[in-house]
Amino acid sequence: MPDASFPVEMAGGVPVVVAPEEIDITNAAGLRAALGEAAGRGPGGFVVDMSRTQFCDTAGIHALVLAHKRAGAESREIRLVITGAAVLRIFAITGLDNVIPLFASLEEALAASKAPREQ
């Protein structure tokens, strides 16, 4: 089964949820828990690093959408790092690529996370 662990790390003061290679119904609960933990680390936004992720089903998408909505209600933002073609594809199909900010690297996502505070 896919790796059930979604560690939450800190990078430059920003919580980063590190996603495994595959996200599906069997480990989406772990993703939801990690997203909740990252949101609880502070009032700012956080990053979900899916750069290793090669497959994400609608259960994973559902967890990310809920986290995005929750963050939006609290006037903060989650940022996703996505490089896998199949993952980009499901974001395009569902239209989420126009809803949740996507970045090609963790560095870019972190830079975007810091930008508002530097202004």
* Contact residues for other proteins, defined by CB under 8 A: 1-2, 22, 24-26, 28-29, 55, 57-59, 61-63, 85-86, 89-90, 93-94
Strand-strand pairing, 55-56 and 22-23: parallel
For the record, the structure tokens of 58 come out as 């609608």
d(CA 38, CA 13): 11
Report the nearest approach of other proteins to the CB of residue 101 (Å). Answer: 21
CB of 46 to other proteins, least distance (A): 21
Nearer to other proteins, 85 or 115 (CB): 85
Closest CA to 81 of 103, 61, 54: 103
Please say which residue, 91 or 103, places its beta carbon nearer to other proteins.
Answer: 91
